[in-house]
Structure 1
């Protein structure tokens, strides 16, 4: 197949300069401190009429920092569990998706884990978005609040995703020293962000992570939602007078900058035919990972399902969690 990005030999050496602003860490410490003052207000309802009998299924709602109700599925193996006995894994979904269905987590419960899958606010699930944005955006979510990191859409999303870890840590049966986070595409970017901003995850498993190396991604992609950023410039700033301001905002949410702060052991999957999350953007994040790391490379695959990689993740969890 023709290359959709740099040759592999160049990708293996591709380590672009980080774009984190000097106040990157202070920005996120302030944000986390503020959200920690907001009660989680989690409600947990047992689903009693599901045909799966080998697991317990709970419909969960917790509050984002602005009161937005975030919905999730939480599952555990059937039966009683001693306090602190279950390792736990948190799943984040792809762009415009949702928390999925409880059976999507069945393999983790069958391995003896608790598992939690959550909506991203305002996207394809039942979770709304109560945040307000001070200027217009192109269709989608990539450009909401683009000119200020304090009001950018993904600030609340990243904090929502950290609060998913808060929820699993609040459960008596979970072992808070054995937490994994994972997801594909947007979910991979969210797993990187949570592992970069929170020390609790022991393992991180991003699959072709989105939200990485933004400037390169906007230049290189040919499919997927990075086009929303181009469309924002077409609509609101055709001369690109605010380009540096926009990319400054995005730098606070860049998975490449997050990766440099990840201490969790990480398994990343990258596909070389990916035109949505270009391989160079994923390699940029991988090469900046601060902790122990492993790479699964799939040269002939693009932005698509990788069922064989699901088994690789299960083996990774079995070995290290």
Structure 2
């Protein structure tokens, strides 16, 4: 274990490498004001492809920043108990299949799964007719400054989803949990930072953290290899290196982590060369609320045995 990383003791005190922009807090305050000024134009449409006798299955559409029409799947039990769970998917993937949402719905929880914009899953009219992009989203918009970063919009989409689900009459907005793996693990923490009412978060090996550290490790594996590719194509002599990492700092989860007040459980595989452990600890060590670790010494970016079951049981008990 830890064959390529710092020691276990160093991980517990590591505070990150990627610079924090001087106006980070103001940037996100301004971004949230922009989101609030964007009419959500919320629409729930019956999901006729997956009817259930005990719940409504629906396609949710809403408008996010930049005028993008965002999609999510929602299951709303007829006898809802108040809690809700927001699920975020991995990088380049799509939200879970309907059947994968059933455990929470059967428990009486409202459950919503976001489709991350531009990641080739459920298509909306906001996408270009022939667009097909699986990668490079990390550096998408980098040349346009922090306001142009694709992930700035995605981060704000998580807040809008939390607002919409929290406002449903059957949902208690103080009993919402967030969860996901990899990109979804990162977005589950982002949502908890930007939507302060989130009660509980289960984040599995989160992506979107400490970009400069991931780049310096030079593991040449996706998704952080997109940064190296960007330098090769845009700045081969690294004349803009400081500017690049400072710009990425606006969407670096470790800088949002102090705003997270939810109860967080973070799952880490110490041999993870996709989302290196040190990057994850950079966020964990800065979390503002109650937190606990689940460490898997011999696992990388893999299925972590017992994690899904434990997350379900934890939400069932604590939400």
- 1:69-106 CA-to-partner distances (Å, cap 9, x unmatched) read 111110123x244xxx4210111111101112111111
Would you say the 8 A contact 1:268–1:295 is kept in 2? yes
How far apart are the structure 1 equivalents of 2:292 and 2:88?
Answer: 20
How far is the alpha carbon of 1:242 from its aligned partner? 0.9
Q: Which residue of 2 aligns with 1:239?
A: 237
Distance 1:49 1:18, change over 3 A: closer
Would you say the 8 A contact 1:184–1:206 is kept in 2? yes
Q: Which residue of 2 aligns with 1:39?
A: 39
- Long gaps (5+) in structure 2: none
Would you say the 8 A contact 1:63–1:69 is kept in 2? yes
How far apart are the structure 2 equivalents of 1:52 and 1:16?
Answer: 46
Q: Which residue of 1 aligns with 2:20?
A: 20
How far is the alpha carbon of 1:113 from its aligned partner? 0.9
- Residue 89 of structure 1 pairs with residue 85 of structure 2: yes
Alignment counterpart, residue 105 of structure 1, candidates 101, 104, 112: 101
Would you say the 8 A contact 1:93–1:183 is kept in 2? yes
Distance 1:122 1:16, change over 3 A: closer
- Residue 59 of structure 1 pairs with residue 59 of structure 2: yes
- Residue 176 of structure 1 pairs with residue 173 of structure 2: yes
How far is the alpha carbon of 1:139 from its aligned partner? 5.4
Would you say the 8 A contact 1:92–1:187 is kept in 2? yes
- 1:103-159 CA-to-partner distances (Å, cap 9, x unmatched) read 111111122211100111101312459599xxxx99521111214111111111111
RMSD value, Cα: 2.2
Alignment counterpart, residue 198 of structure 1, candidates 195, 199, 219: 195
Distance 1:172 1:138, change over 3 A: closer
How far apart are the structure 2 equivalents of 1:24 and 1:14?
Answer: 20
Would you say the 8 A contact 2:2–2:270 is kept in 1? no
Alignment counterpart, residue 205 of structure 2, candidates 200, 208, 214: 208
Q: Which residue of 1 aligns with 2:75?
A: 75
SS in 2 for 1:177: coil
How far is the alpha carbon of 1:311 from its aligned partner? 1.3
Per the normalisation by structure 2, the TM-score is 0.91
SS in 1 for 2:83: strand
How far apart are the structure 2 equivalents of 1:273 and 1:11?
Answer: 13
- Residue 266 of structure 1 pairs with residue 264 of structure 2: yes
How far apart are the structure 2 equivalents of 1:129 and 1:262?
Answer: 33
Deviates more, 1:168-177 or 1:307-316: 307-316
How far is the alpha carbon of 1:49 from its aligned partner? 4.7
How far apart are the structure 1 equivalents of 2:170 and 2:127?
Answer: 33
Count of residue correspondences: 313
